[in-house]
């Protein structure tokens, strides 16, 4: 994605126009005359410079249950391979760090943004109907813009992955606290890791809920899909 650089000047073939006094607006308005101007216009040209640099993956994997996303990709004319049997692939999955939701709608969407992601290498199984979308195709740049969550033009940015930001669980102190105590008693290494976190993070140490959440995240009950973007990157 690009930011705006300083402007230069370039010649432009314009259309003749005139200004007139509008009774409706009470000011001068422009009236286009529909004929080419014989003189070239010197127009400001704004170049671009990168504001986000990404490593282009070989392909993206979109889960089959996201038929709406797959159909939008097809509408763009993007080539893809549809899997006819479950397939397990070693991929880079992206964990969103502090994604934000817009405070108002835009064209019927509540937009989202994320500045930082954490890459997690995983073996991920995609069900029947999932698609592999290669980036080595004429519309490869569009593929990247639509499927990278950090892109301001992505499906994620247009609010099409709200489930990623939804927790489907919560913890109760009366249940987690005794479990955490048992975990520390049974695992000296875990206890040492916890005590190191307490010593190095005063805010964490002073937050009982954060302390219990730390243990819960290390149990088999933790919802591992929270903030995990379901579109995988094949490097």
pLDDT, averaged per 10 consecutive residues of the chain (235 residues), comes to: 68 96 97 97 87 92 96 98 96 96 91 96 95 98 97 96 82 90 94 96 95 87 85 97
- 62's CB contacts (< 8 A; 6+ apart) are 69, 70, 73, 80, 130, 131, 133, 147, 230, 231
pLDDT of residue 5: 59
For residue 179, the model assigns a pLDDT of 92
3-state secondary structure of 166: coil
pTM attached to this predicted model: 0.69
What span, in angstroms and rounded, lies between the C-alpha atoms of 65 and 189?
40
Q: How many CB atoms lie within 10 A of CB 215?
A: 20
Q: Which residues pair with 228 in a beta bridge?
A: 95
The pLDDT assigned to 224 comes to 78
Residues sharing a CB contact under 8 Å with residue 166, sequence separation 6 or more, in sequence order:
226
Residue 125: the pLDDT is 95
Predicted pLDDT of residue 168: 64
Q: Measured between alpha carbons, how far is 63 from 82 in angstroms, rounded to an integer?
A: 10
């Amino acid at each position: 994605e690009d930011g705006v650089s300083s402007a230069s000047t370039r010649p432009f073939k314009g259309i003749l126009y005139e200004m007139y006094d509008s009774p409706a607006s009470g000011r001068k308005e422009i009236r286009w005359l529909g004929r080419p101007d014989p003189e070239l216009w010197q127009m400001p040209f704004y170049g671009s410079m990168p504001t986000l640099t990404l490593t282009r993956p070989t392909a993206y994997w979109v889960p089959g249950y996201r038929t709406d996303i797959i159909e939008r990709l097809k509408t763009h004319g993007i080539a893809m391979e549809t899997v006819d049997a479950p397939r397990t692939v070693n991929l880079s999955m992206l964990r969103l760090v502090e994604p934000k939701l817009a405070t108002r709608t835009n064209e019927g969407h509540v937009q989202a943004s994320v500045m930082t992601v954490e890459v997690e290498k995983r073996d991920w199984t995609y069900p029947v109907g999932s698609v592999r979308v290669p980036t080595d195709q004429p519309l490869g740049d569009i593929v990247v813009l639509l499927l990278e969550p950090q892109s301001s033009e992505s499906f994620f940015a247009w609010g099409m992955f709200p489930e990623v930001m939804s927790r489907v669980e919560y913890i109760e102190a009366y249940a987690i606290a005794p479990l955490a105590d048992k975990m520390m008693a049974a695992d000296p290494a875990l206890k040492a890791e916890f005590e190191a976190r307490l010593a190095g993070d005063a805010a964490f140490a002073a937050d009982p809920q954060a302390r219990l959440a730390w243990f819960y995240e290390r149990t088999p009950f933790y919802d591992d899909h929270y903030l995990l973007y379901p579109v995988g990157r094949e490097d």
